[in-house]
């Protein structure tokens, strides 16, 4: 019989700490596992026949691995077989006789979507951040980003996703969806995430991006005239909107005049605050690699985005959270 290699016994000689391992160890420390599992547990069906189900924590950890590294359900199944680090993070013991297959992974994702648990996960994470004083909720920055969807019609239905649309940005056409977010003006952490087709104007979702407790909202020039909209006047009449000037207006402004010089300084100050809304987009697009939608329809992709922005909040606040745990 062939002798077992030391590489598979837990006595590995290679000790290099990779960036992927460091990332998983850091994010594992700040995820509120107890609260998230309590949200999911009431909706998990009891397996009375057949093989025993995998623990909810295992499936949640696998689902989060998908969001961190951009794996589809089949790819995630293969990665669990190929990558020991993933099995370690998912709490799958080395001696386990079977691993979750792609159907099991898919059913857990559908469970989260059917019960609206993505929204609850984001709310639970934010409640933890608020308790630790990491979100002040006195100001909000709003913005949106385009997320591409497959435009090909070479599929079973012979058509593009009917819930996705095309829009023109600059001189380039884009097909897909649009993720709108409202972030805390102090910390840059996301508190609200509605989605629309790509052709929806940013201003149409402005009212849905506010949590109701902010006193001031920062936005780019695409939100000009937002304070005149009926839904804003009805739901958020007391909010002070600080909208950026258009680049063309700033370009022709005579900055040699004192009043215009002060206006220019004000624009720079507003821009420095508005820049915080780009940080969550950077995390999900660059850190998590989410540049294209993975599913058909807005509902599935919205649920995924809610979970990803919850994790991006924890990633952005991880150092302050770890310091709080060590204090």
Q: Does some domain include residue 9? A: no
Shared-domain flag, residues 258 and 297: yes
Alpha helix positions (H), 115-215: 117-131
The pLDDT score that the predictor gives to residue 61 is: 97
Residue at 97 is within a domain: yes
pLDDT, residue 155, reads 74
Q: What is the mean pLDDT of residues 170-190?
A: 94
Asked whether 138 and 186 are in contact (CB, 8 A), the reply is yes
Average pLDDT over residues 181-203: 95
Domain of 211, in residue numbers:
135-326
CA dist., res. 215 & res. 218, Å (int): 10
Query: What does pTM read for this prediction?
Result: 0.90
Q: Single out the residue in 50, 82, 114 at which a domain terminates.
A: 114
Give the Cα separation of 255 and 210 in Å (integer): 34
- 118-135 average pLDDT score: 94
pLDDT at 52 over 50: yes
Q: What is the mean pLDDT of residues 132-158?
A: 88
Full DSSP string of 167-203: EEETTEEEEEEEEEEEEETTT--EEE--EEETTS-GG
CATH code for position 151 = 3.30.420
One domain, residues 53 and 149: no
State mean pLDDT over 103-114. Answer: 96
DSSP strand pairing (172-184 vs 195-197) = antiparallel
**Pairing of the two strands 195-197 and 240-243:** unpaired
Least confident of 2-6, 110-114, 150-154: 2-6
- State whether 42 and 179 are in the same domain: no
What is the C-alpha separation between 143 and 178, in angstroms, rounded? 10
Q: For residue range 265-288, list pLDDT tens digits in order.
A: 999 999 999 999 999 999 999 999
Q: Is residue 1 part of a domain?
A: no
pLDDT score of 11: 52
């Amino acid at each position: 019989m062939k002798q077992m290699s030391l590489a598979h016994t837990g006595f590995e000689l290679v000790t290099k700490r990779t960036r992927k391992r460091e990332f998983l160890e850091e994010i594992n420390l700040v995820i509120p596992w107890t609260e998230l599992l309590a949200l999911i547990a009431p909706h998990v069906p009891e397996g009375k026949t057949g093989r025993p189900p995998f623990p909810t924590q295992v499936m949640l950890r696998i689902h989060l691995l998908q969001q961190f590294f951009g794996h589809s359900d089949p790819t995630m199944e293969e990665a669990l077989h190929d990558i020991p680090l993933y099995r370690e993070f998912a709490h799958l013991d080395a001696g386990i006789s079977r691993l979750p297959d792609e159907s099991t992974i898919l059913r857990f994702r559908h469970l989260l979507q059917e019960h609206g648990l993505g929204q609850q996960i984001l709310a639970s994470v934010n409640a933890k951040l608020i308790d630790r004083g990491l979100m002040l909720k006195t100001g909000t920055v709003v913005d949106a980003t385009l997320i591409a969807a497959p435009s090909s019609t070479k599929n079973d239905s012979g058509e593009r996703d009917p819930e996705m649309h095309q829009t023109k940005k600059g001189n380039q056409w884009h097909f897909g969806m649009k993720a709108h977010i409202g972030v805390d003006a102090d910390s840059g952490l996301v508190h609200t995430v509605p989605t629309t087709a790509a052709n929806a104007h940013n201003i149409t979702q402005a009212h849905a991006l506010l949590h109701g407790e902010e006193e001031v909202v920062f936005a780019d020039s695409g939100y000009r005239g937002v304070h005149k909209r009926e839904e804003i006047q009805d739901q958020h009449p007391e909010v002070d909107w600080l909208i950026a000037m258009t680049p063309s207006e700033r370009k022709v402004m005579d900055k040699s005049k004192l009043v215009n010089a002060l206006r220019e300084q004000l624009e720079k100050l507003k821009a420095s605050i508005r820049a915080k809304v780009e940080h969550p987009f950077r995390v999900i697009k660059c850190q998590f690699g989410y540049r294209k939608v993975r599913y058909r329809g807005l509902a599935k992709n919205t649920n995924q985005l809610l979970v990803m922005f919850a994790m991006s909040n924890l990633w952005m606040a991880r150092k302050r959270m770890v310091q709080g745990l060590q204090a």
